[in-house]
Amino acid sequence: MAMIGGGRDAFIGAIHRIAINMDGQIDIVAGALSVNPEVAIASGHDLFLDEERIYTDYKTMLEKEAAMSKDKRIDFVSIVTPNFVHFDPAIMALEKGFHVAIEKPMTFTLDEAKKLKAKVDETGLTLLLTHTYTGYPIIKQAKQMVKSGMFGKIRKIYVEYPQGWLSTFLEGSNNKQAAWRTDPKRSGIAGAMGDIGTHAFNMAEYVSGLQVTHLCANLNTVVDVRMLDDDGATFMKFNNGATGVLMATQIAAGEENCVKVRVYGEKGGLEWKQEDANTLLVRWLDKPTEIYRAGTGYVSSYASHNSRTPAGHPEGYLEAFANLYRNFTLTVRAKMNGEKPKDEWLDFPGVDDGIRGMAFIENVVASGKSDKKWTDFVV
């Protein structure tokens, strides 16, 4: 496969590579790793790429790789650039016949997202959207338990993603990560809501199996000179009548990345937080709370398929990330071999999640600006 973006001075590219490498099933053989040619070349050397497959722009790469023989050319690309450079390379890669892995949010606008879906549908290729948190084995367990109906009808969903790293005007002090994420030209119309709110939103819909139908949002720019929201919350109505609250902030000083999701049904509910990523608390109306743990013998096939170690050896964010790539490549390989992928493999975020995510961004920003309490969630 090949990587677009993710050179020396990037953050998420290195994370993708660890996830890609982990299981020894994927080789990074090409890359257009930076818009800066010098960085692109030096980064290619870092990855021990063959000289001729270190590219300085992704268009050339996609052209040249597409022209190679089938056994040599790449199978898929990973797009790990800032948000505004997601759509074009994704479309081109699909057109050239390559599967695509892409960082979230999927595109710059909802409109792009829809076009991308059309292209995916047209080509029959596979798209992975790296909503990492759905890759945790015990989150798979959570989803299966809700799906089984054991909690009865779902009634209430709380999701939150508190961070503190943007408590100060970090983008003013040469922090590259802060700079593009707070810049509407590169990040899009949302700040915190796009960067982490989308993760929380995705978790809410993924674990509950429900879809949001209405929003009532309050978005804030707490650090005055900042150009985008750095804090917010939204009420949600779901398509089964359940309601929920989503909170995402980047100015909760001292908070790290403790994404948390709670879902309550008629008979019980569950709670998960990233800080204790291998544990799922399962609550019941009338019996003791249970602690489900990743890697045990009693979890579902979806959870065990996504574990690499026995219970008690913590598996973390990078393993969750690697699960996305593993399921994506298992699926792609099965399709390439004309086999039917297992249900467990197919359970990775894709283009439909990307559309939901972009719709969340546009709808939550619109709701934030509205004086009306509730606004429809329009896709």
341-370 binders of a copy of itself (CB under 8 A): 370
Residue 218 backbone phi and psi in degrees, to 5: -125, 105
Backbone φ and ψ for 43, nearest 5 degrees, come out as: -65, -35
Q: Which of residues 217-256 bind a copy of itself (CB under 8 A)?
A: 218, 220, 222, 231, 233, 235, 243, 245, 247, 249, 251-256
Q: Is 338 in the site for a copy of itself (CB under 8 A)?
A: no
Single out the segment in contact with a copy of itself by CB under 8 A; choices: 71-79, 195-203, 290-298, 327-335: 290-298
Q: Which phi and psi angles does 181 have, rounded to 5°?
A: -70, -25
DSSP state of 340: P
How does DSSP assign 247-268, residue by residue?
EEES--TT-----EEEEEESSE
Minimum distance from residue 289 beta carbon to a copy of itself (Å): 4
Distances (CA, A) of 153 to 147, 184, 239, 273, 328: 10, 40, 12, 22, 31
> Counting contacts by CB under 8 A, is residue 124 touching a copy of itself?
no
Q: How far is the CB of 65 from a copy of itself (least distance, A)?
A: 20
Q: What single-letter amino acid sits at 141?
A: Q
Does position 317 interact with a copy of itself (CB under 8 A)? The reply is yes
* Amino acid making up residue 277: A
* Minimal distance, residue 233 CB to a copy of itself, in Å: 5
Q: Which stretch binds a copy of itself (CB under 8 A): 33-41, 197-205, 215-223, 331-339?
A: 215-223
Candidate residues 34, 130, 274, 300; the one interacting with a copy of itself per rule CB under 8 A: 274
Near a copy of itself in 152-171, by CB under 8 A: 155-156, 158, 160, 163-165, 167-168
Q: Is residue 175 within the footprint of a copy of itself (CB under 8 A)?
A: no
Closest approach of a copy of itself to the CB of residue 67, in Å: 25
- Count of residues interacting with a copy of itself (CB under 8 A): 86
Count of CB atoms within 10 A of residue 287's CB?
8
* Residue type, position 67, single letter: A
* Residue 264 phi, psi (nearest 5): -125, 130
Site for a copy of itself in 43-102 (CB under 8 A): 47-48
Quick check: 336 binds a copy of itself (CB under 8 A)? no
Q: Which two tokens stand for residue 148?
A: 């089984």
E strands in 60-209: 76-79, 99-102, 127-129, 154-162
Side-chain half-sphere of 288: how many Cα atoms within 13 Å? 3
* 71 or 286: CB nearest a copy of itself: 286
Q: Name residue, tokens 């020396």.
A: 8
User: Which residue has 């139908």 as its token pair?
Assistant: 213
Tokens 């996305």, located at residue? 324
Q: Among residues 254 and 338, whose Cβ is nearest to a copy of itself?
A: 254
Determine the interface stretch with a copy of itself among 55-63, 72-80, 305-313, 324-332 (rule: CB under 8 A): 305-313
Site string for a copy of itself, 8-47 (x = CB under 8 A): ------xx-xx--xxxx---x------------------x
Output the smallest distance, CB 40 to a copy of itself, in A: 17
